[in-house]
């Protein structure tokens, strides 16, 4: 501690004469008189700094006729945090700082002035040393007296004077300076210990051979109450083995504890006062309360409450901050506010580019319009029906089903919704094909313009949730499932769609008094259109995405927020959609392959367009259109009316090939795809069918255009799980299952060209012999298992000595076994022929 030596001209009497402030200056060793600074000689005796007591022993020695007062409220007590700063000596820094900050013109501004004012002139004593305790906010004042007045009387006089003439320092104007006589032997330490309102009072023996007495709470109260209000006194537990014995005294204020510690430390309680036979010595130290960081401790000690509460708070902040931003980006994605097509400058640039293209023949705008017009003319009824449904006030839940390549997307977006200003297209294919939850969330968000999206946080929060679950035993809720994340994306999208639908509403409208729901119900033309493309694509892998989309679409239609149109290749779409809207009838448009006449016109129009654009040899194209007209009719009957196959045919003809050769190449390419996807050995774990099951359908459809659905199910190959196998083959587009009155009744090739491809595959004798041999081998295995089953039952009947009444059962089993054996022999004969073929041919 910094020692403050009080020097001055002391009169012969005991009256203290305060010196004027100008006679002092501040040094590293405390306050010194200016005369000493000039001459270098001490006036009276020179005093050490006493940072750690006299001679750095940690104590202040008071001889006969000497005493010590402790004054509090001399320094700010709120500067204790400075002790935690490394390499900062607060005992030197704070007095120097106060010296600069204090205003000499203010009363009680300077610590030395405070002490001078606190000592009355009539007090019969002489100050010898002043030792500040910066971290404790006070100072020790060592004095001497002539013995005519006791130290107790000096304390009484001083306290009375301070009460009549209060001194309130500027840093704590609500509290006055107090002074108490030091009863014990104070410990002057410069350790990094922060004062506290809690004191640990230890009871020590006055001599090594004596024993200490444990004071009662009444005795402790009588000794310590004079220094301030006591909140509680806690005695050491009786069963505690900690020595020495102690008690804990809690004051209501830190300054009360500081005063008590400095005045009572080292105080000896005499035997007559309850201190035991030889007296008890008090050792007092500051003790930090266990609940200093009670908020932090409570948070860490109650994770079951805190972690879910933090999760809820984070979720609430996320909704409050990010949801409006995400809704804004979804609206801009639907309205295309930031796209070039959405403003006048962008439209002007696009028009100039189109004009340049027309001039330099770089290309045509909407190249497919001319050829697709033929297809749209053939389907004009479906287009008009779709437009009519979109202006009706009833809930619009439209499903357009057709095989892949039938032109569903073009029909809806380019024709039926051509004049619609606000439409949102969601492609389920990239969402379903995304690998992992994070990729699925990011892809779904990109489809609707939902951003910012922090999909990578889902993995981190899952790890945090897993660690917390191992710690507290329950889930914290930080991590969110894919179901929850998708629900958020669709929920924000619904909000944006509703805002767009209501954006054109004005207060001057006739129906301005209607509510939002009634207004949207009365104005179906203002509702945006949501087109969900590739619905149920690879639905056999996971139904989660499609279930959430179906539920969301049902909510959009029932609340009149938007029209919803589903585009799907799956004929079993009603199973998924019925879960979302079980009480509604879907409005359906079934698109099939176009008729041969329309297909022919489509190819010819495609060739004519290329001739007009100069993309091919115009004389050659005209000659082909005239001379190969009969050949084109024949090839189109083989190819069918699938749009993708017709476009491929037109491109092949444009290169100079004849229609027959082009169709033959399409057939060969389709046969190669079928062979690779359905016949050749692949990953047996991902396939839901066997090559034998696929070959049965290929070989039979090569001879017949349509197969009976139930006839296939009754065959030996399809007895176990036949329906699921057929559905898997339909999803893979090998076959198409037609329904009548809601039940499947017929099986056709997945594409019209597939029947020709099936015939092409069956004409390969080596492939046919190999696959027929595999089929016969599987049939032999099935019949062998049947015979084993019959024999086991006959054996059980024989061991049980069956009664004559069971003879009919025995006869039935024997007949079944004979029939199976006959089939095996037949299959073996056919297998032998096939083996000879395989041995003879390459």
Domain boundaries, the chain: 1-191, 195-292, 318-504+515-590, 596-657, 679-840
CA nearest 528: which of 384, 324, 342, 330?
A: 330
75 close to 98: Cβ distance less than 8 angstroms:
yes
Whole-prediction pTM = 0.61
Q: Which CATH number fits domain 195-292: 3.40.980.10, 3.40.50.620, 3.30.930.10, 3.30.70.330?
A: 3.30.70.330
State residue 623's pLDDT score.
54
Positive or negative: CA dihedral 87, 90, 95, 98: positive
279 close to 206: Cβ distance less than 8 angstroms:
yes
Query: Which class for 720: exposed (0-12), middle (13-18), buried (19 or more C-beta within 10 A)?
Result: exposed
CA nearest 823: which of 835, 815, 834?
A: 815
d(C-alpha 88, C-alpha 334), whole Å: 62
State residue 105's pLDDT score.
42
Rounded-to-5 percentages of helix, strand, coil across the chain = 55, 15, 35
d(C-alpha 513, C-alpha 506), whole Å: 10
Query: Which class for 281: exposed (0-12), middle (13-18), buried (19 or more C-beta within 10 A)?
Result: buried
Which of helix, strand or coil describes residue 551?
Answer: helix
Successive 10-residue mean pLDDT values, the chain, 842 residues:
34 35 38 36 34 73 89 80 55 51 45 81 86 87 89 92 89 89 89 88 88 91 95 92 92 94 93 86 88 74 78 76 89 81 59 56 46 76 89 79 85 88 93 88 92 70 61 55 86 94 83 85 89 87 87 90 90 80 81 81 76 52 57 81 84 82 91 91 73 94 92 91 89 86 87 92 94 94 94 86 76 93 94 93 86
């Amino acid at each position: 501690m910094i020692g403050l030596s009080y020097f001055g001209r002391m009169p012969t009497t005991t009256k203290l004469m305060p010196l004027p402030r100008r006679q002092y200056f501040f040094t590293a060793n405390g306050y010194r008189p200016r005369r000493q600074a000039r001459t270098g000689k001490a006036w009276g005796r020179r005093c050490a700094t006493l940072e750690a007591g006299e001679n750095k022993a940690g104590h202040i020695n008071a001889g006969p006729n000497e005493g010590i007062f402790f004054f509090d409220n001399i320094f700010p007590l709120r500067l204790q945090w400075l002790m935690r700063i490394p390499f900062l000596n607060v005992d030197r820094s704070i007095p120097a700082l106060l010296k600069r900050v204090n205003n000499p013109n203010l009363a009680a501004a300077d610590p030395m002035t405070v002490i001078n004012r606190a000592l009355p002139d009539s007090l019969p004593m002489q100050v010898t040393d002043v030792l500040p305790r910066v971290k404790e906010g006070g100072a020790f004042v060592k004095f001497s007296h002539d013995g005519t007045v006791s130290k107790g009387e000096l304390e009484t006089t001083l306290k009375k004077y301070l009460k009549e003439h209060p001194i309130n320092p500027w840093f704590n104007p609500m509290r006055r300076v107090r002074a108490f006589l030091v009863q014990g032997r104070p410990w002057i330490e410069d350790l990094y210990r922060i004062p506290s309102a809690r004191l640990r009072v230890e009871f020590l023996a006055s001599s090594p051979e004596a024993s200490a007495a444990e004071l009662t709470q009444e005795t402790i109260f009588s000794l310590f109450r004079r220094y301030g209000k006591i909140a509680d006194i806690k005695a050491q537990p009786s069963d505690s083995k900690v020595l020495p014995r102690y008690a804990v005294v809690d004051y209501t204020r830190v300054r009360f504890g500081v005063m008590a510690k400095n005045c009572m430390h080292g105080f000896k309680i005499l035997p007559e006062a309850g201190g035991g036979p030889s007296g008890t010595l008090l050792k007092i130290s500051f003790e930090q309360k266990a609940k200093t960081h009670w908020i932090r401790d409570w948070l860490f000690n109650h994770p079951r409450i805190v972690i879910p509460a933090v999760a809820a708070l984070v979720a609430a902040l996320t909704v409050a901050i990010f949801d409006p931003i995400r809704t804004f980006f979804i609206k801009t994605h639907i309205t295309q506010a930031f796209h070039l097509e959405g403003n006048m400058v962008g439209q002007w640039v696009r028009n100039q580019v189109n004009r340049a293209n027309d001039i330099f023949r770089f290309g045509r705008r909407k190249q497919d319009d001319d050829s697709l017009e033929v297809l749209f003319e053939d389907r004009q009824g479906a287009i008009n029906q779709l437009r009519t449904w979109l202006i009706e006030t009833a809930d619009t839940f439209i499903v357009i089903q057709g095989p892949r390549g039938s032109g569903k997307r073009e029909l809806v977006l380019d024709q039926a919704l051509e004049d619609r200003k606000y439409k949102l297209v969601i492609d389920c294919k990239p969402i379903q094909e995304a690998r992992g939850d994070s990729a699925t969330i990011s892809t779904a968000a990109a489809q609707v313009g939902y951003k910012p999206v922090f999909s990578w946080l889902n993995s981190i929060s899952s790890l945090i949730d897993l660690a917390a679950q191992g710690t507290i035993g329950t889930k914290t809720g930080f991590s969110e499932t894919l179901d929850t994340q998708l629900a958020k994306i669709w929920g924000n999208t619904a909000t944006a769609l509703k805002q767009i639908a209501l954006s054109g509403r004005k207060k001057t409208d006739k129906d301005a008094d209607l509510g939002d729901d009634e207004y949207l119900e009365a104005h179906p033309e203002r509702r945006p259109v949501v087109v969900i493309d590739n619905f149920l694509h690879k639905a056999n892998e996971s139904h989660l995405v499609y279930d959430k989309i179906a539920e969301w679409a049902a909510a959009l239609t029932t609340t009149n927020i938007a029209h919803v149109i589903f585009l799907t290749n799956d004929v079993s779409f009603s199973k998924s959609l019925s879960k979302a809207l079980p009480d509604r009838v879907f409005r359906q448009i079934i698109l099939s392959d176009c008729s041969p006449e329309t297909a022919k016109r489509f190819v010819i129009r495609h060739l004519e367009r290329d001739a007009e654009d100069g993309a091919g040899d115009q004389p050659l194209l005209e000659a082909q259109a005239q001379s190969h007209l009969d050949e084109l009719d024949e090839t189109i009957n083989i190819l069918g009316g699938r749009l993708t196959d017709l476009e491929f045919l037109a491109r092949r003809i444009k290169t100079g090939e004849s229609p027959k050769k082009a169709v033959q190449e399409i057939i060969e390419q389709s046969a190669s795809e079928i062979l690779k996807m359905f016949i050749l050995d692949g990953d047996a774990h991902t396939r839901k069918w066997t090559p034998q099951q696929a070959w049965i359908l290929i070989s039979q459809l090569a001879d017949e255009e349509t197969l009976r659905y139930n006839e296939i199910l009754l065959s030996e190959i399809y007895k176990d799980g036949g329906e699921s196998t057929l559905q898997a083959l339909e999803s893979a587009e090998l076959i198409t299952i037609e329904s009548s009155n809601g039940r499947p009744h017929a099986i056709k090739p997945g594409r019209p060209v597939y029947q020709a491809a099936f015939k092409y595959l069956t004409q390969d004798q080596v492939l046919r012999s190999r696959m027929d041999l595999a089929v016969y081998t599987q049939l032999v295995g099935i019949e062998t298992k049947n015979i084993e089953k019959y024999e086991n039952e006959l054996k059980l009947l024989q061991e049980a000595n069956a009664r004559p009444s069971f003879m009919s059962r025995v006869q039935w089993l024997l007949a079944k076994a004979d029939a199976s054996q006959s089939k095996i022999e037949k299959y073996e004969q056919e297998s032998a022929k096939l083996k000879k073929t395989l041995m003879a041919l390459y």
